[in-house]
Chain A
Amino acid sequence: MSRRHLAMAVAALLTTASLAACGDSGGSSEGAAKTLTYWASNQGASIEFDKQTLQPELDKFEQQTGIKVNLEVVPWSDLLNRLLAAATSGKGPDVVNIGNTWSASLQATNALIPFDDATLGEVGGKDRFVPAALAAAGAPGKPPAAVPLYSLAYALYYNKKMFTDAGITTPPATWEELVETGKKLTKSGQWGLAVEGANPSENSHHAFTFGQQWGGEWFDSAGKPTFDTPQNVAAVKRYIDLMAVDKIVNPSNAEYAQNQSVADFANRKAAMLLWQAAGSNLKAQGMSPDEWGIAPVPFPATPPPGGKKVNSMVAGINIAVFKHTENREGALQFVKFMTSDAEQVILNKTYGSLPSVKPASADPAFQAPEQKVLGEVLGSTAAPLPQVPEESQFETLVGTAMKELFADAAGGKAVTEAQVKEKLGVAQQKMGS
């Protein structure tokens, strides 16, 4: 390279570097205070649906406060990893949605701002929030790592016409009845129940509920995993047996992980579905609201010793603020906006979920049959998943073990108690290592 070329290259390099530096400083001094980045979890039938739902609300917020919110809707399958990456690197969005079951796990990373009484005061005060939902926002005895945004519960959805055609008048209230009903409704091209067999989170939620009903606990009082107790083994086996023994679940469901079970129910390939607030999703898939009915998730007819009357987790989505935000005040303003009475009504109505703040619950929008059942379950028979730092590991390890059990069942292999115990045992050992 000649001198001249070298000089040219150096000049170019310096120019670019100085321009880049200018751009950088300009961006952080002026722009940051007026913008926020928000990762929303995928709540509606599609990411596009969520964008269309949220954008008008974000525009409203910008009008009120002058703060522009950049929205990204993140699919559930990526969300935990992305949150983890943001927590590790200290770079990422200002405000995020988290699955409420991950609250204690994310709280342990110390990357989210704690909602102590003073911070809660900035977003409207502790007493605004539904207590059960706030309890699922962090480990007991610590300031919550987030505040609840949307509340959900599991319920049993059933196809009214299929029930009438088979001469069934009331939805099943016990597992025994559900199996009996399911057998009547399983015929060519149609199955009694649809499950999401390859989705670890979904599996682990059922592991929790069935575990409660069978008298099991997934963690002891010291927070140590107790996965392979006889109660938990029986509970998980009961769930897998819906496919393996009762044969009311299509074996194909063993590879479902993209909400295909909801699609099967909406397309009349399955008569029943256990899901959290499925209504808006079913509507999006072309099933009219009067085609389906809703009932609480069943219980065992004769509860085993120690069995609890729990038929759902306290499901829901929380909103949290990263400590690394350069605009703490704006972020909290945004949290306050999203949990305001008006926004709670608008958003929860669209998503078919329940408000997480008390004043909004009275709105007539939440008196529809679906929301009534979900509300009753949340108010009386739902329990939060264990709020321990290892909760997210529980979901993936136990959920994956169940995915393997479903694969065995779908492949025609008998699923024995010993196998269930072994798989849960392996999952437990991995927690310890």
Chain B
Amino acid sequence: MATTTAPGPVRPAGRPAQDGPPRPRGRRTVRRTYLPYLLLVPAALLELGIHVVPMLVGVWMSLLELTQFHIRDWSTAPFTGFENYRVTFDFGSATGKDLLHSFWVTALYTTLSVGFSWMLGLAAAVFLQRPFKGRALLRTLFLTPYALPVYTAVITWTFMFQRDTGLVNHALDQLGLIDGANPPFWLIGENSFVALLIVSVWKSWPFAFLCLMAGLQNVPPELYEASAIDGANFWRRLRDVTLPMLRPVNQVLLLVLFLWTFNDFNTPYVLFGGSAPRQADLISIHIYQSSFVTWNFGLGSAMSVALLLFLLVVTAVYLLVTNRRREHA
């Protein structure tokens, strides 16, 4: 085997020998110049295979009339140009109108879910910043939702949200908050949005908590001591010390939460199955329906590409704005 027979003396030919003559400068700079790129090659290849190529395939599919007649050999599907995009953005038609509806539902869902998750995460992180007895236990408990497999957790929520046999209505009834004879629905109708939001926040806030807790470790205690001497109260310290120090963490955290939540498919799919109630018809489910339920993969791809462009633009604007603000700060 090559490993065991590798002769000792041949060893570090390309490696700076400690007792050898100094290397020529030029060679070293060449290596400095190319080595970083060389090291990026594996990542770039993987990125190409996992993201770029499928994305390009998706764009190509969005230009085809890809229905059940062609999915088996999709390269034979007829080319329709921008027809799928025309249907996607034709907000006067049933398909476009419903897509726009689910876009607004998703926007509201994302705003509320990210907002609540962030606030809960921040509150918990600040609360657990000072050492006290039982802190480790609480930290572990708070992270539980993050550690559970999504599918299992959301399935449990669907049981809890059942109208007649679910724990939620039972608890609300015990507390006297609802009319036990006529309990509300959670998985269909108006409340389905609330149910979806609750599950989503429950699922995402531990991640916010984790990031913010890590961020808080980097705040020097002297800052708090100094502000305490200056007589700053809790809210003042939060506003003028904690939040500014957390800004870099928040910048990434909010973006990641936004992207995850906007694209979230697992939560609504497990909660409602393939056909979500109209009030909770998130865009990911909607695109899934267009592709897999009505077997129009071309149209589904066009919708996906449109969604991708939207998220790219939002992300770019967000990064520009937050970076500029940081430079100004």
Contacts and interface: CB of A to CB of B under 8 A. Distances in A.
Interface in B1-39: 1-3, 6, 10-15
Interface string A392-428: 1100110110011011101100000000000001100
Given A87-B71, A200-B275, A389-B68, A2 B12 contact: yes
Contacts of A7: 2-3, 6
Interface stretch (B135-143, B181-189, B251-259, B315-323): B181-189
Interface residues of B, number: 40
Interface in A40-93: 77, 81, 84, 87-88, 90
Given A11-B2, A84-B71, A90-B72, A433 B95 contact: yes
A106 B275 CA distance: 21
Interface in B138-197: 162-164, 185, 187-190
A2 B15 contact: yes
Nearest to B83: A433
Interface in A187-202: 198, 200
A110 B72 contact: yes
B60 interface: no
Interface stretch (A250-258, A348-356, A369-377): A250-258
A291 B71 CA distance: 49
Q: Main SS of chain B's interface residues?
A: loop
A20 interface: no
Given A7-B2, A255-B188, A396-B275, A108 B10 contact: no
Nearest to A393: B294
B119 interface: no
Given A254-B188, A429-B95, A393 B87 contact: no
Contact of A433 (B1, B93, B188, B293): B93
A400 B273 CA distance: 11
Nearest to B73: A110
B162 A255 contact: yes
Interface string B278-312: 10000000000100111110010000000000000
Q: Main SS of chain A's interface residues?
A: helix
Contact of B11 (A2, A10, A403, A430): A2
B13 A396 contact: no
Given A2-B12, A90-B72, A109-B72, A410 B189 contact: yes
Most B C-beta atoms less than 10 A away, residue of A105, A407, A408, A410:
A407
Contact of B294 (A106, A252, A430): A430
Contacts of A87: 71-72
A114 to B, nearest CB: 14
Given A2-B15, A392-B295, A425-B94, 16 more contacts: A4-B3, A7-B6, A11-B1, A77-B273, A87-B71, A87-B72, A110-B72, A255-B163, A389-B69, A396-B289, A396-B294, A407-B185, A408-B189, A410-B185, A426-B94, A430-B95
Interface of A: 2-4, 7-8, 10-11, 77, 81, 84, 87-88, 90, 105-106, 108-111, 198, 200, 252, 254-255, 257, 389, 392-393, 396-397, 399-400, 403-404, 406-408, 410-411, 425-426, 429-431, 433
